[in-house]
Amino acid sequence: MTENAIEINNLTKEFGDFKAVDNLSLNVKSGEIFGFLGPNGAGKSTTIRMLCTLAQPTSGSATVSGYDLVKDAAKVRENIGLVAEKMIMYDALTAAENLRFFGKLYRIPKDELERRIDELLEMVNMQEWKDTQINKFSTGMKQRINVIRALLPEPKIIFMDEPTLGLDPQTTFSIREIIRDINKKGVTVILTTHAMVEAEALSDRVAIIDHGKIAALDTPENLKNMISDVNTTIFSVKITNLSSQLIESIRNLENVTALSQQDDHILKISATGENALNNIIDSIRAKGGNIFSITNSNESTLEDVFLALTGKEIRDHASEKAAPTPHGHGQRAQARVR
Amino acid sequence: MDLMKIFKDSYHIMAKDLLSLRRNKMSLAALFIMPIAFLVMFGFIFPSGNTQTHMPVGVVNLDDGSGSTQFISQLNALNSNNSYLNLQNFTSTDAAKTEINQGKLYGTFIIPPGFSYNMSHGQSADVVMLVDNSNPQIASQIEGVTANTITMMNGQQAVYNVVNMSASTGQSVNPQAMVFPYTPNIQTTIPGQNNYFNFLAPGLMIMIVMMTVMTGIPEAISKEKEIGTFDGMLSAPINQISIILGKTAALCVRGFGQCILILLLAVLFFGVTIQGSILLAFVMLLLGIFSFVGIGIVAVSMSEDQASGTMIVNLLMFPMMFLAGIFYPLQQMPWFMQDIAKVIPLTYAADAMRKIMLLNANLGDVITQVLILVAFGVVTMAIAVPLFRRSMTR
């Protein structure tokens, strides 16, 4: 019985002294969309690279589609498709030439290959660009070709590493539609993303990974409930004279567990502890902040879960309570959700 | 592993690489300009062994007899045949020396007083040749030409003397055989005059192929790693050997294209004569590629990015280019350089190429070189392939 598309047992990858993936164990069920979240450098991409046989595990094992990663690497490759962060295509070749080249490596018979190329181009509305060189394409067009390239061999499992990064809303929407479509046809999808809305909307289950380990693994619904306990208050506050100093002082308050800046005036704050809301309002006013309105949004999002689990500090400087600027973590993640 | 599948995948990768190359007009142009530049550059800057002509040389006649006048007219007659010298008359040694100091003359003949007297009294007559040896190359050429000219004039004079003597004594002799009992008859393996391009062209062909393949491998593989397409190939169900084979094959096609161009130019414009089998020459080229492609693969396996890969290859390639006897015959190098040349595969490849193309050597004649190249290739590939496989899944 192959209930699980992927089974990972104590998978570890070390680069010198650094453990990029640390004793990771999890299963991905056949037919699900599995979201893989985590801060930059948490080990998501390394895990995906190992599962695609592009990197050798230091220790531990994993099976993909029932085949061992190391012993049956060739069999694994026959069953997977990869949409990597860097687009896999040659600029000097046309869309069709790119697809043909990779299709041939999968031993797809010629007529069948041409049929699939036409079909897939039609799926992403790019038939008219079939014989145009890739270097004339926009980023969105390239990414659509990049995605259908991975679908060409009709894989059972598809890995997508940030498939909507840097795309306009229209293309993002269409890529998400494709992900849903292929999943309906029974393809297991492993998705890494920083767009929390995307992970929440698409994934059946989500793993939040940090420092090479799983911080949480559940359905998006359960994860949100996990932090929406009675003690946590989540609210947006609009401050007319919002400044970076003020944001810093709020961020450093004891009650505040997570904070993200929504726009020039609005902060979204998660807080715990007795009298949390009162304390925070008092502090803002004490610092001269002019509160315009407060909106209670006790419905937490996956981003709140993410920040609660992985902390507030930016990963580039991993020191404790490093001071992020208003242009830091929260805002960037927010900008991408929109 | 399915061997047919490996070859088919290699073919697809080669076809893809060549298609990309064809679309890139700039690299395509560079590809064809390089061999032309090499042939012209190295063909003309290296000493070709030909003597300069029309070298300005003075003649100072301090003698007042008829012997010196005869000498000068003979000199002029000889020189008008080969034009090595550009003779100018001066009335005094000082006038000629001034011209030498000003760099207008390379040297001067000085016919001392008493020249005619010595001749008519049965003695050898001295002719002084004053050579400006501040430029040693020109000086040695002038010395050579002068010695040659005087020898020829001596011969002519001797023949004339013998004819006179035989007439006065009533003996019938062959004056030519008396004066020149030995006549050299120089025959060469390659018809026509000595030609540096004959030496250069076969070596240049194998060197161009080496450069194309050795710099091409790290370039092509690192580039694909950096833009990300390498992951696409590695995550497909293909053997990693196919990537090496396909990339090498694409580079071979490029290198062969360049070789054919060199061959055409060499034959059409530089008077190179090909006597051997072109087919065997190209088999030799393939064998040469096999012997040094491993070094390129080791370089790409050991380096993180394109820049360092190319650097490692250049570091190895430049000594190989100059020590392998492509431009100079090995025999002209000092012994320690010759020892280094013996461990460079290119040396054997160039040597065998030359023998095949110029001397019509068959496979049996170059079997030593072939075996050495095969051994070199097997050893480097045995190191390179596992290293490459490991570096792919770092």
Which domains does chain B carry? 3-48+195-392 (no CATH), 55-179 (3.40.1710.10)
**Is A168 found in the same domain as A286?**
no
Q: Which of A55, A54, A72 is nearest to A63 (CA)?
A: A72
Domains identified in chain A, total number = 2
Contacts of B24 in chain A (CB under 8 A): 92
Mutation site for B-interface testing, chosen from A83, A88, A131, A142 by largest number of B Cβ within 10 Å: A88
- CATH code of A174's domain: 3.40.50.300
Which chain B residues touch A77 with a CB distance below 8 Å? 235-237
Q: Supply the pLDDT for residue A313.
A: 58
A112 with A51, same domain: the answer is yes
Q: How far apart are CA A153 and CA A145, in angstroms?
A: 14
Residue type, B305: D
Continuous segment of H or E residues that includes residue A53 = none
Q: Which residues of A touch B394 (CB under 8 A)?
A: 55-56
- CA-to-CA distance for B289 and B283, rounded, in angstroms? 10
- Of B171 and A104, the one with more pLDDT: A104
Chain A neighbors of B231, CB-CB under 8 A:
49, 52, 54, 82, 84, 86, 88
Query: Which helix (H) or strand (E) segment is B164 a member of?
Result: helix B136-169
CA of A109 vs chain B CAs: smallest distance (Å):
13
Q: Do B394 and A86 touch (CB under 8 A)?
A: no
Give pLDDT < 70 ranges for chain A.
1-2, 227-231, 298-300, 312-338
Q: Could you tell me which of A50, A23, A48 has the C-alpha nearest to residue A35? A: A48
Structural contact between residues A51 and B393, judged by C-beta atoms closer than 8 angstroms: no
Contact A92 B24 (CB under 8 A): yes
Distances (CA, A) of A61 to A9, A182, B194: 5, 28, 69
Mean pLDDT throughout B123-143? 87
Contact between B219 and B309 under an 8 Å Cβ cutoff? The reply is yes
Q: In whole angstroms, give the CA distance from residue B91 to residue B113.
A: 13
Query: pLDDT band at residue B1, thresholds of 50, 70 and 90?
Result: low
Say if strands A291-296 and A233-239 run parallel, antiparallel, or are unpaired: antiparallel
Does position B269 have pLDDT exceeding 90, yes or no? no
- List phi, psi (to 5°) of A20: -75, -40
B390 to chain A, minimum CA–CA distance in Å?
A: 9
The pLDDT tens digits for B272-295 are: 888 888 899 999 999 998 888 888
**Nearest Cα residue to A196 out of A276, A258, A264, A277:** A258
- CA–CA dist B277, B275 (Å, integer): 7
Query: Looking at residues B127-138, what average pLDDT do you find?
Result: 88
CA B34, CA B40: separation in Å to the nearest integer? 10
Is A101's CB within 8 Å of B12's CB?
Answer: yes
**A86 to B12: CB separation less than 8 angstroms, yes or no:** no
CB contact under 8 A, B228 and A102: no
Are B232 and A84 within 8 A, CB to CB? Answer: yes
A202, A170 contact by CB (below 8 A): no
C-alpha pair distances (Å), A325 with each of A117, A246, A331, A332: 47, 11, 9, 11
Q: What is the mean pLDDT of residues B131-160?
A: 87
In chain B, residues with a C-beta closer than 8 Å to the C-beta of A78 are: 237
Share the mean pLDDT of chain B: 87
A86–B393 CB contact, under 8 Å: no
Measured distance CA(B30)–CA(A116) in Å, rounded: 38
What is the pLDDT confidence band of residue B171, given thresholds at 50, 70 and 90?
confident
Contact B289, B213 (CB under 8 A): yes
Do residue A287 and residue A210 come from a single domain?
no
Test A86 with B227 for CB contact under 8 angstroms. yes
Q: What is the pTM of this model?
A: 0.75
Compute the distance between CA of residue A216 and CA of residue A7 in angstroms, rounded to an integer.
17
Taking an 8 Å Cβ-Cβ cutoff, which residues of chain B contact chain A? 5, 8-9, 12, 16, 19-20, 23-24, 227-229, 231-238, 393-394
Q: Can you tell me the distance from the alpha carbon of A42 to that of A38, in angstroms, rounded to the nearest whole number?
A: 6
CA distance B257 to chain A (A): 21
Are residues A328 and A273 both part of a single domain? yes
Chains A and B form CB pairs within 8 A to the count of 71
What radius of gyration, in Å, describes the C-alpha atoms of chain B?
31
pLDDT for B237: 92
pLDDT for res B316: 85
Count of residues making up chain A = 338
CATH code: domain of residue A253: 3.30.70.100
- A4, containing H or E segment: strand A4-15
Question: Are A116 and A132 members of one domain?
Answer: yes
Residue among B355, B193, B201 nearest B264 (CA): B201
Chain-chain contact of B393 with A92 (C-beta, under 8 angstroms): no
Can you tell me the distance from the alpha carbon of B88 to that of B82, in angstroms, rounded to the nearest whole number? 16
The residue among A220, A245, A274 that closes a domain is A220
A214/A228 same-domain check: no
User: What domain range includes position A65?
Assistant: 4-220
Of B16, B236, B237, the CB nearest to A90: B16
- Residue B17, Cα to own-chain centre: how many angstroms? 33
Residues of B in contact with A75 (CB under 8 A): 237
Of A220, A247, A270, which residue constitutes the final position of a domain? A220
- A34 and A140 co-located in one domain: yes
pLDDT of residue A324: 37
Pair A285, A187 in one domain: no
A13, A152: one domain: yes
* pLDDT of B49 strictly over 80: no
Amino acid at B378: V
Give the tens place of pLDDT for each residue, B55-109: 899 999 999 888 899 889 988 988 888 788 889 999 999 999 999 999 899 999 9
Q: Which of A164, A196, A220 is the last residue of a domain?
A: A220
If you write DSSP's letter for every residue of A221-276 in order, what string do you get?
HHHHHHH--TT-EEEEEEETT--HHHHHHHHTSTTEEEEEE-SSSEEEEEE-STTH
Shortest distance between the Cα of B9 and any Cα of chain A, in A, equals 6
Distances in Å between the alpha carbon of A330 and those of A39, A197, A300, A311, B248? 12, 14, 15, 11, 49
CB atoms inside a 10 Å sphere around CB A328: 19
The answer to whether residues A103 and A170 belong to one domain is yes
Q: Write out the DSSP string of B326-348.
A: SSS-GGGS-HHHHHHHTT-HHHH
- My answer on whether A250 and A112 are in the same domain is no
| Helix segments in A83-202, DSSP class H | 95-105, 110-123, 139-151, 169-184, 196-202
Q: How far apart are CA A2 and CA B233, in angstroms?
A: 27
B139 by Cβ neighbours in 10 Å (0-12 / 13-18 / 19+) ranks as middle
Residue A67 sits at φ, ψ, to 5 deg, of -105, 140
- What is residue A247's predicted lDDT score, i.e. its pLDDT? 87
pLDDT tens for each residue of B345-391: 899 999 999 899 888 888 888 999 999 999 999 999 999 999 988 88
Collapsing DSSP states into helix, strand and coil, what is residue B22?
helix
Contact across the interface for A55 and B393, Cβ inside 8 Å: yes
Domain co-membership, A143 together with A278 = no
| Single-letter amino acid code for the residue at B334 | P
